[in-house]
Chain A
Amino acid sequence: MQQFPCPFCGLRNEREFHFAGEAGKTRPDTTGKVSNADWASYLYTLKNRKGEVREVWMHRSCSELFILRRNSVTMAVLGHEQLRKDVP
């Protein structure tokens, strides 16, 4: 099995992780009017890149959500970023 990095737990078995979606989408401002096209694009459009991708994943064992950078062809993990902010 492959090992994925959790920012909190470190390297863990890939089966403990859940793919949540592509990173970088911004929810349209729903206090104003949002067109059908913009809303559909937010809900459904995907870049689905072949090669380097940046995605939101969850480590289900500890519920940590984080950014995983990996290669979608070789499956190599290229890096990860913490999404959780530290207590100020």
Chain B
Amino acid sequence: MTYSALTLLREAFRGHTGWKPAWRSPKPAAEYDVIIIGGGGHGLATAYYLAKNHNVGRIAVLEKGWLGGGNTGRNTTVIRSNYFYPESVALYELSMKLYEGLSQELNYNVMFSQRGMLILAHSEPEMEMAARTVNAMRLNGVDADLLGPEDVRKRAPILNFRDDARYPIHGAVFQGRAGTGRHDAVAWGYARGADRQGVDIIQNCEVLDVIIEGGVCKGVETNQGVIRAGRIGAAVAGHSSVLAEMAGFDLPIQSYALQAFVSEPLKPVIDTVAFSPSAGTYFSQSDKGGLVIGGGLDRVPSYGQRGNMPMQETVLSGLVEMAPAVAKVKLLRHWAGIVDVTPDSSPVIGPSGIDELFINCGWGTGGFKAIPAGGFLFAHLLASGTHHEISRPFDLDRFTGGHLIDEGAASGIAH
């Protein structure tokens, strides 16, 4: 059923009894043309674009838990393309453009709110680096503005403009088209869109082993039986190394927990996203009023999807430095997702090294913003077996060739 004001009105009059499930829950078939492992944002978007743009017939998405139950539902929902290198900007700007039309395309409101993002600069040298970032972004064709302290104050008066601030605000890099989205809606919207085109979305289906015959990937063993396929794509984020070990290929990935926090609901205090690299914290405010707070990676590699104290202290003390007025606000929730970090803080999209097995991983702390592009490019790769020009630089071969795309160093953004 297509969602519209009219269907909403009709259902309101009949007590909301006519809504149908947004996707089916089929039993897995014995064989598919393409299997995608991982029913998070990237996996579901891949299935959607495979069906829509590439006309692939039988597609299944296998999810060990529930849709978007991993990092897609455990992030701070920021969407931005303020990167440094041309390769990264091409990738994240593709994602931004797809996000801009996504609610219309999916007929599902992903609540993409382009409220802008401030990256604060706290000293004169940081302002020089901010100017460099703005210039790089503009050269790459992305919107960026260098704001002075008064401009920042107008946009976000809640920030710390006190004379005794440890990190006084000299200005900021501002990307006006950046913003936040509704993370669950992105997963559900793509799931519904994929299902409508005949994709089988199979939840509670955990991949236990990868079937390799004569060096070629032929399918997977799951807790719901063997499922064979002509081609397999894995989009399993923090568990990419676990899958690589099953299949027998190598990855340059370390898994870490990335924590985030939501406060009790408040009256509106900030209508943009503010990030202070010095404080190690960023925050925005959700439509419900909760402050959504994030920071850097944990210091200890981990597969435990739990928060812990050291990073909590760092991030929350950073928040209090950024906006002292919110010091007494209470936290409502606190969670951690397991993210897959590469040596150059850039993703991996490409062949795994085993025939017919392809990977989409290494998004680190920035996977949510990249969901539409990750899906779009991975679908192209799975359908054609060759790279789209935007995903080419992100192949695994960059590590042997030495063509790293070191965004961690270049844009200074926590990844």
Contact = CB atoms under 8 A, between A and B. Distances in A.
Interface of A: 1-2, 14-15, 18-19, 36-37, 40-41, 43-51, 53, 55, 72-75
Contacts of A41: 250
Nearest to A18: B299
Interface of B: 239, 241-242, 245, 250-255, 299-304, 308-310, 343, 399-402
A72 B302 contact: yes
Most buried by B among A19, A36, A47, A48: A48
A37 B400 contact: yes
Contacts of A18: 299
A73 B304 contact: yes
Nearest to A75: B304
B254 A48 contact: yes
B343 A36 contact: no
A73 B310 CA distance: 17
Contact of B252 (A1, A15, A44, A51): A44
Contacts of B302: 72-73, 75
A53 B300 CA distance: 12
B310 A1 contact: yes
A46 B308 CA distance: 24
B400 A48 contact: no
A47 B241 CA distance: 7
A16 B359 CA distance: 36
Given A36-B400, A40-B400, A45 B304 contact: no
B300 A49 contact: no
A2 B308 contact: yes
A45 to B, nearest CB: 4
Given A1-B309, A36-B401, A48 B250 contact: no
Given A2-B308, A15-B310, A50-B239, A72 B399 contact: no
A46 to B, nearest CB: 5
Contacts of B310: 1, 14-15
Nearest to A15: B310
Nearest to A74: B304
Contact of B253 (A37, A43, A48, A72): A48
Contact of B399 (A44, A49, A73): A44
Nearest to B305: A73
Contacts of B239: 50
B251 A48 contact: yes
A15 B253 CA distance: 23
A29 B399 CA distance: 19
Nearest to B240: A48
B303 A73 contact: yes
Nearest to A55: B301
Most buried by B among A46, A49, A75: A46
B107 to A, nearest CB: 38
Nearest to A70: B300
Contacts of A1: 309-310
